Structures are given as C-alpha cells and as structure tokens.
Amino acid sequence: MSDSHNHHHHHSRHSDRKRSRPPYTRDRNEVKRRRSRSPYRKAHDHHLQDPPTRLPFKQKPLDKKEFEQYKALFADYLDIQKQLDIDELSEHEVRGRWKSFLGKWNKAELAEGWYDPDTKTKADERWDSRPEWRAPTPEVTARDLHKAGEVEEDDEDEDDDGYGPALPSKRAGASIPSLDDLQHRRELADEDRSARTADLRHERKQDRNLQKERVEEMAPRADPGSKERQLEKKRDAAAVNREYKAAKDGGDVEVGDKELMGDDGIDGYKAKMKAEKKRKNEREIRKEEVLRAREAEREEKRAELRRKEEKTMEMLRNIAQQRFG
C-alpha cells in the first residue's frame, strides 16, 4: 500500500511538471519536431549555413540580370574556351550557356584570369571596336534569362574550364573573307572583264585598220571628187557608224563627230591611235589607283586583325601565368 502510494505520488509530480511547462516551450519543441520531419528543411538549413564561396580578385557573384554588363567577357569566354561565336548562336543556346557560365563563375570553377578586372576591361574594348557590318548579338531579355533554368545544358561534356582557355581550333588556317573583301573581289573581276573587252575591241579595230591599209595599197583610192570616191566615203562612213554603234552598246567612250566621219590619209589614223592610247593609259592609271587604295584598305584590316590577335594572345598568356605561375 505504501509502495502504491509512493508510485502514485511520483506519477502525480511528473504529471504536474508536464502540465506546468510553459506554453512557449511546447510550441518551440513542436516546431523542432516539424523541422526534423522535413528533409528539405534540413537541407535548406544546411545550405544557409554554408559560407559564401570566395571568388578570385574579390569578385562578386553574378546574377542572371547582369548579362548586358558582362556580355563582352562572356563572348570572349565562348570564343576562347568553347570555340563558339556568340553572334552565331540562337537565343535559346545563349541563355543556356549564360546560365552555365554563371554557375561556374559563382562556384569559382573558372580560371583565375577570367575574374581579373583587366580581362573584362579589354573584352569591353574589343567588343566596342567590332566592325559595324558584324551581325548583332541576339538580345536576351530578363524574361528569357528567367527561362534559362529550363534549358538543358550540354556543357558538362566539354573541356574543363578550370584549366584555363584553350587556343581556338576553328580560327586556324585561312580566314573567311569578309563582305567587303568579297565585294572588292567582284568589282576587280568586273573591271578586269571590262578591260579585257576593251583591249580586245581595240585590237580588232587595229586589225581592221591594218587590213584597210593593205587593201588601199593593193587598190588605190579613186580620184578626189569622182563618183567612185564618193561611194568609198559612204562605205567608210557606214563602217565607222557600225563600229560606233557596237562601241556604244558595249559602254565604250563616246566618239566625236570628226572621228565618226573619219579623216583621209595617215594623219587621221595616227590621231585616232594617239587618242585611243591616251584613253587606255588613263583607264590603266585609274585602275591602278583603285587597286592601290583597296590594297591599303585590306592591309589596314589585316593590321587590325593582327592587333586583336596579339591582344587575345596577351590575355591567354596572363591567364596561363596566373593559373600555372
């Protein structure tokens, strides 16, 4: 009886302590139990406790909305690291690769050279000095960047970004001619064809004149003022008219009235040859001037390309030195 009484008394005191526990303590314990039942809550709490990743050069993590500010650096990354031209990618692929770039940047998985502020400054300068004819980069809006989370990435199978950018393989060998180069090439070809046509026409004209002189030597002209001489002049004028019409249809230089009717004797022939030679020399001079001007323009473009390649190599050397010492 005593033992039963003691047991009952002990149970009553335990119940009293349990009933007298403050309400906020029960609520706090209930919250702990609910948290312990949620694996997502546990993982989330653990994530919040992870310290932020320290990025080289004290850089800050990037956000999807900073695409425009880092577009030039991102374009260099695609060009050097992935051998891709951002202007040739679709908006869908730009969004996906920008998302992958953000992840590697924020986890400090890129080579240290990409975090160097000088690298971004040089990339911005190269981006601003791009040729005007180059196709614009697909515009990526904030809404598109928000959809980037749904884009499946194939970047994981590519080379490791931690080892620094690799030399672009697709840039090796002969470069693709620019639109200006193709236009210049077509214009030069047209001028060469025109010059060959004019030269051929001139040679044929000289041959006809030579044959005419030989015929005249074998069969002398009729006496001046005679009916036969008048017929010869009409035939000569008709021949000159045919030559003039053919030359005009071919875009040749306009012939004066005096040359159209012709002059008698060797003096008129010499005058024609001298005028033709003068026109040919002027045409050759203009052609040489155009060729020199275009060659100078192409040389300037080649020099600009060499300067850009030197800047790229300098950036690669800096990245390699920072990465490997």
Q: Cβ of 198: how many Cβ atoms within 10 Å?
A: 19
Return the pLDDT at 238. 83
Chain position carrying tokens 């004797």: 265
Return the pLDDT at 282. 81
Report yes or no: 74 and 101 within 8 Å, Cβ to Cβ: yes
Return the pLDDT at 36. 47
pTM of the model: 0.34
CA 47 to each of CA 42, 50, 63, 191, 225: distance values in angstroms, whole numbers, following the listed order: 9, 5, 19, 71, 117
Name residues of the chain where pLDDT drops below 50: 1-2, 4-18, 20, 23-27, 31-36, 38-40, 42-44, 46-47, 133-135, 142, 145-154, 156-157, 160, 163-174, 261
* pLDDT tens profile 21-50: 554 444 455 544 444 454 445 444 544 556
Residue 130 dihedral angles phi and psi, to the nearest 5°: -65, 150
